[in-house]
Amino acid sequence: MKKIAIVTGSSGGIGQVFVRELAKENLDEIWIVGRNEQRLLALKNELGGKIVPICKDLTKQADLLSFSDLLKMQNVSVLWLVNNAGIAKMAPSKEFSFSEIEQTIDLNCKAPAVLINLCIPFMEKGAKILNLSSASAFQPVPYINLYAATKAFVRSYSRALNEELKPYGITVTAVCPSWVDTDMLPKEIKGKAVNFPGIVTPERVVKKALQDAKKGRDMSICSFYVKCQHFNVKLLPQKWTMKIWLRGIKKYL
């Protein structure tokens, strides 16, 4: 039986680092998933034979469900599933089109939930699921409202699923970074360079996430900055934490 890892969003900043780190594990194949074939092939060229590029749009039902056949056709044990693909539009909620709302919810929420259910029958004791949530899941976040709400879904879904899967020895970890230095973050808004307090590298997020998953933790927080955020939202009323956030982003509105 082939021991495999599946990493969605492998063509992006955090996903690529997950693939590089998982390439050091004892695995037969790493299925790297994304739409950008060139980027997936570049990662395969860099890391070699065990990398299997799978070009799919996870907002499309047929592409998502095709994993059922892919898994059935191969004799595999899924040791790692990293639901990392995600999109974010940082804008007032009223500016979202129907299709943007649908795609954000489909990719950030529906795709991980469906992929998990497709993979569970191919997982054994010790298998690990990591779902990319965010520090924006800790509280409501005006102006990145839809994105933050999808990440709250991911965090809540992951932690409850971790309890449900305990009898099977499968762990689920919600990875909750704050700002991470990738192409997802806009460099400027309305001509103003954006300052991202507490920004970290994707390497830092990934190394901590893999450590936490190996320890069976249901949440991974990689920096003191995010630990403070997490503590503050437990302590303060959400109305206050939203006011603090709004004060910080006032100059970009």
For position 112 contacting ligand NAP by CB under 6 A, the verdict is no
For position 59 contacting ligand NAP by CB under 6 A, the verdict is yes
Minimum gap (Å) between residue 37 Cβ and ligand NAP: 8
For position 53 contacting ligand NAP by CB under 6 A, the verdict is no
d(CA 2, CA 113): 23
Exposure string over 91-105, b if 16+ CB within 10 A, otherwise e: eeeeebeeeeeebbb
Contact map string, positions 218 to 247, toward ligand NAP, x by CB under 6 A? ------------------------------
Q: What is the total count of residues that contact ligand NAP (CB under 6 A)? A: 29
Minimum gap (Å) between residue 165 Cβ and ligand NAP: 21
Residue among 83 and 241 whose Cβ is closer to ligand NAP: 83
Long-range pairs for 198-205: beta carbons < 8 A, 24 or more residues apart: 198/223, 198/225, 198/226, 202/13, 202/14, 202/16, 202/17, 203/17, 205/14, 205/17, 205/175, 205/177, 205/180
Interface residue with ligand NAP, options 41, 42, 185, 233 (CB under 6 A): 185
Residues within window 125-154 making contact with ligand NAP, judged by CB under 6 A: 132, 134
d(CA 91, CA 63): 28
Interface residue with ligand NAP, options 5, 54, 107, 221 (CB under 6 A): 107
